[in-house]
Amino acid sequence: MGMMQEFKDFAMKGNVVDLAVGVIIGAAFGKIVDSLVKDIIMPLVGAVIGNVDFSNLFAVLGKIPADYKGAMTYADLTKAGVNVFAYGNFITILINFIILAFIIFMMVKQMNKMKKAEPPAPAPATPEDVLLLREIRDNLKK
């Protein structure tokens, strides 16, 4: 029974619960950033550099089967088992990571700034016996 109580104490500590909440919110936030990159930023970048769809930027590394009749898109080729080098998808995920890392950096920076804003705790008063000992020491030095 001792191990179950230990586990309960561990699981109910504030840090574990805070971590669980952070992971859940982080997953949801990751989806928001993913949508921001995929649905807003990448189409704008594609429009600026000439209507490029980054999800379809790839290089075919394997042989395309002779009987293949599908479209020459990343999704169709991978479904057909063709080996492709999907650098466009990597660019999208890299931009996604950079945005997410920057937002987290800004959040941590603000949290640190808020922590510094708290006034430092006053130093505890020096006990009277220590003050008397210091006075005796100073008198002996004379």
Domain count, the chain: 1
pLDDT tens string 113-142: 877 766 777 888 889 998 899 999 999 997
**Strand 59-60 relative to strand 84-85, pairing:** antiparallel
Domain CATH for 77:
1.10.1200.120
pLDDT for the residue 111:
79
pLDDT tens string 3-51: 888 887 777 776 777 788 888 888 888 888 888 888 888 788 778 877 6
Is 129 domain-assigned? no
Give the C-alpha separation, 116 to 74, whole Å: 50
Task: State residue 85 phi and psi, 5-degree precision.
Answer: -100, 100
Is 51 strand, coil or helix?
coil
pLDDT tens string 41-100: 878 877 887 766 677 788 988 888 888 888 888 888 888 888 889 888 888 888 878 888
Is 137 domain-assigned? no
